[in-house]
Amino acid sequence: MKKLRWQLIIIFLTGLVVGILLLSDTTTGPIQIFESQPTRGGIYKEGLVGTLQRLNPLLSYYNHADQDVCRLIYSGLIRFDSRGLPMKDLATSWGISMDGKIYNFALNPNAKWHDGQPVVAEDIVFTFNMLKQGKGYLPDDLISFWEKIEVKALDKQTVQFVLEEAYAPFLDYLSVGILPRHIWGNMTFADMVESKLNIQPVGSGPFRLDKLTLNGSSISGIVLKNNSTYFGTKPFLDEIQFTYYQDSILAFQAYQQNIIDGISYISDDILSSVLTEPNLSLYTSRLPMQSMILFNLDNTTVKFFQDVKLRRALLMGLNRVKMVQSVMKGQALISNGPILTGNWAYYSGIPKVEYDSYKARELLKSAGYILANEQDQVRSKDGITLNFTLLYPDDDIHRKVAEMIQQDWALINILVNLEAVPYDELINTRLEKREYEAALVDLNISNAPDPDPYPFWDQTQISNGQNYSQWNHRVVSQYLEAGRVEINQAERERLYRNFQVVFAEELPALPLYNPVYNFAINSKVKGVSVGPLYRTSDRFQNIESWYIVSRTTLSDEFKENNLGEE
């Protein structure tokens, strides 16, 4: 023990002496702190899953690969952040009339096309008037919407939109890429479709076309260069090279061979392999889709669906966590309401309904749904058994989800019959004609950063609209009708919050999950981040922050603390 004590004393004294020497050393200056700063340069090579058709924002609506490239080449009047709120793009500011019918936009005077010509108001007028002619290449309802809107140039830098009636989600329609009138202005829409200019795009976005790469006579890739005259925040990357691949598997093989740095879409069949790659970062984001179970609340053969306690018990009896983990392979987020998570209108205070089959059975029992006899396997009330048919889209994923729903509800003594239906028939016939009892559906809300729940849940949409559940709630309809004409953002948030609270209480449909989208990029590419997606091209939302090249500099903190020292 004596030896140990002496060793401790020696260590203590040695440390004390070293500390005194360090404190008394006046020759050593302050410790310099260095940090890495992104700088201009570098080439990013991506495997783009899909094929090139036309690099034209009016002709790329149904082609995600074209949309991705168009996002980098073209600018819209406005764009949206990850919460679905509008941001400046070509427009530096905008104003809305008190009655919500007139929108004026001031253009950025520094905006130029890639050929050096200035972007003017007539370009915006031309683009939206051309869009009205896009039958067969754009959705019919989108064309019909624009046919009712007058677009005019007030001067070279100001454009005006005149609506027939107030419509708060109007800004949603203004992020489409703008075309240069001086290039396309003498063409009809039919001429545009056939034009070679669709693979010689001239936009005003952060990147411009440099060249196409060929494999024989077919286009195998595209090279984009940093646009030095871009009016917005200029990207760090010098160049982006896209190579087209038929599927994610081929793109992943190209990554493993060091041909590319990133993969635009990670399909389920390569996800596990991607996760084992040490230098490949996986990015995951919520897709603008909502998987739900709809009830036909006005179908007299299943009147029990009108009972809110029954609907709550049905949600409580669904093991959605297991559904996401086992069927969706973890590639979905549990949904708790009718508005997409991450959106500006989403209310996080909605009570979460957790899976609890015991509580579900107790709730059913308290509502009068009982097993009349010991041998019964199905609950009933007033002689009516809890037995109904659930329609589902005829594919493997939805079949597995439907079977899990059937099994979960069997545990609480509810009998569900399953019927597979082709998706088009499910939507356009069975739901459209209200010829169903319950249905598993995916509500696709792509290209719609504004949530606008009106089409799916308002009273006026019961007969001829998309309120397939036929939910007839006057107070909710008042919220939704006011929300789509109100121009004050805070008031809209309040109205939609109220709607979500009532929805959570009434549960006219059961929210299940939101699928997610995966893409992957080599970790040498820094500054990449992604929020919720409203279209897959939104993964390039912060492209100006991506960088590969960096330089080391003294930290700002060090320079500030030591400025003027000798």
| Every domain of the chain and the residues it spans | 31-74+205-279+523-566, 75-185, 289-516
Buried b or exposed e, range 474-502, using 16+ CB within 10 angstroms: eebbebbebbbbbbeeeebbbbbbbbbbe
Q: Which residue has the tokens 């089409």?
A: 455
**CATH superfamily name and code, 31-74+205-279+523-566:** Periplasmic binding protein-like II (3.40.190.10)
CB-based burial label for 141 (10 Å; 0-12, 13-18, 19+): exposed
Return the pLDDT at 557: 53
In the Cβ-directed half-sphere of 170, how many Cα atoms lie within 13 Å?
Answer: 23
Q: Is the CB of residue 513 less than 8 Å from the CB of residue 442?
A: no
Give the closest residue to 454 by CA, choosing from 429, 438, 476, 475. Answer: 476
Q: Is the CB of residue 127 less than 8 Å from the CB of residue 74?
A: no
Return the pLDDT at 551: 84
> What is the token pair recorded at 423?
């998706």
The second-level CATH assignment, the architecture, of 75-185 is Alpha-Beta Complex (3.90)
Helix (H) / strand (E) element for 38: namely strand 34-38
Return the pLDDT at 27: 46
Q: Which residue has the tokens 């016939």?
A: 429
Return the pLDDT at 560: 59
Task: Tell me if residue 436 falls in helix, strand or coil.
Answer: coil
CATH hierarchy code of domain 289-516: 3.10.105.10
CB-based burial label for 258 (10 Å; 0-12, 13-18, 19+): exposed
Residue pLDDT tens, the chain, 566 long: 333 333 433 334 444 444 443 444 444 455 555 567 999 999 999 999 999 999 999 999 999 999 999 999 999 999 999 999 999 999 999 999 999 999 999 999 999 999 999 999 999 999 999 999 999 999 999 999 999 999 999 999 999 999 999 999 999 999 999 999 999 999 999 999 999 999 999 999 999 999 999 988 889 999 999 999 999 999 999 999 999 999 999 999 999 999 999 999 999 999 999 999 999 999 999 999 999 999 999 999 999 999 999 999 999 999 999 999 999 999 999 999 999 999 999 999 998 999 999 999 999 999 999 998 877 899 999 989 999 999 999 999 999 999 999 999 999 999 999 999 999 999 999 999 999 999 999 999 888 899 999 999 999 999 999 999 999 999 999 999 999 999 999 999 999 999 999 999 999 999 999 999 999 999 999 999 999 999 999 999 999 999 999 887 655 554 555 555 43
Return the pLDDT at 2: 35
> What is the token pair recorded at 128?
């939206």
**Could you give the CA distance from residue 404 to residue 422 in angstroms, rounded to a whole number?**
19
Q: Hey, CA dihedral for 408, 409, 413, 419, is it positive or negative?
A: negative
